[in-house]
A = this chain, B = another copy of it.
Amino acid sequence: MLLGSIEAGGTKFICSVGDENLTVLDQVRIETTTPEITLGKVIEYFSQFADLDSLSIASFGPLNLDSASPAFGSILNTPKLLWKNVNIMTIIRDALNVPVFITTDVNGSAVGENLFLKQAGINLHSLVYLTVGTGIGAGIIVNDQILGSNGHPEVGHIRVIKHPDDADFHGTCPFHDGCLEGMAAGPSLKARTNIPGECLALDDPIWDRLAYYLAQAVGSLNLIIHPARIVFGGSVVNPQLLSKIKKDYVQLMNGYVATDHLDDFLIRSCVPNNGSATIGNFALARKLVRV
């Protein structure tokens, strides 16, 4: 089999070709500019592979994932205005003439993380992939299936209780005063300190606030869906922050639910080269191939 993967992000499209063992055979990085230019290059890239069997897209969103809708496969109300209402799935499918699957970027990564752990002998009944980067989002896997495949979990916008030191900070979300993403995604660091997150010292007290919010997110995820594991992706959750999150989470639960085995329960992604969405896409594309 020859399988295609498109990880469609706001700054770049990672396009890969792999085999049925989910091994990457070739990969290219295409800058996200206009739909015409970017998708043109994407199509040009995959057109080299005449034997391509199928392809899966893990895309930024919001996406229309309602297969009964005429707009199925299109990007919805995104702040990247040029991409609004672009039916990325149809464009790719019609140009390449292969079966195409589409899901959200976080769902693709969640599928990949789940498979990666499975290959390492760790079989989980459920897993949440929680990415904390420019935004915050989650993909949820239950019994090897994407949860809410026809919806788009928008975990980043759950409300959180403000840290006392954030009383005057409203967050960076244009919709909500004090949602998780507005208070704890990467841009919130710069919005508070005027220093980009990647330049902040690891012992800066600002990280305590992020831990406070992300621990609340872990709490709500655990109390609502009780996943076997939460895997952090994205650039924000460094090992120091993860330790703080664990500490705050224990305090927040206050003995009500078991908080042992936290080092297994809460981990950072361990897929090499940030490649969970690519592995996930290959697996999702593989399902489209009739054998």
For window 28-66 of A, CB contacts with B under 8 Å fall at: none
Of B154, B223, B254, B255, the residue contacting A155 (CB under 8 A) is B223
Q: Mark A73-110, 1 if CB is under 8 A from B, else 0.
A: 00000000000000000000000000000000000000
* Chain B residues whose C-beta falls within 8 Å of the C-beta of A161 in the assembled complex: 159-162, 178
Q: Within 8 Å CB of A147, what residues of B?
A: 142, 147, 225
**A223 touching B158 in the complex, CB below 8 Å, given contacts A142-B147, A175-B256, A256-B176:** yes
Residues facing B in A134-190 (CB within 8 A) are 138, 140, 142-143, 145, 147-148, 150-162, 175-176, 178
What's the Cα separation between A138 and B220 when bound, in Å?
13
Let me know if B224 and A256 touch, CB within 8 A: no
Copies of this chain, whole number: 2
Q: Which residues of B are found within 8 Å of A224, using beta-carbon distances?
A: 138, 140, 153, 155, 158, 220-221, 224-225
Q: Is A252 part of the binding interface, using a Cβ–Cβ cutoff of 8 Å?
A: yes
Is A216 touching B159 in the complex (CB atoms < 8 A)?
A: yes
Docked complex Cα distance between A32 and B187 (Å): 54
Across-interface contacts of A158 in B (CB, < 8 A): 219-220, 223-224
Complexed CA–CA distance, A253 and B157 (Å): 8
Q: Which 5 A-B pairs have the closest CB atoms?
A: A151-B226, A175-B256, A148-B226, A154-B223, A158-B220
Apart from A157-B257, A160-B161, list 18 A-B contacts with CB within 8 A.
A140-B225, A148-B225, A152-B226, A153-B223, A153-B225, A154-B223, A154-B257, A155-B224, A157-B223, A157-B256, A158-B220, A158-B224, A159-B216, A159-B220, A175-B253, A175-B256, A176-B254, A220-B220
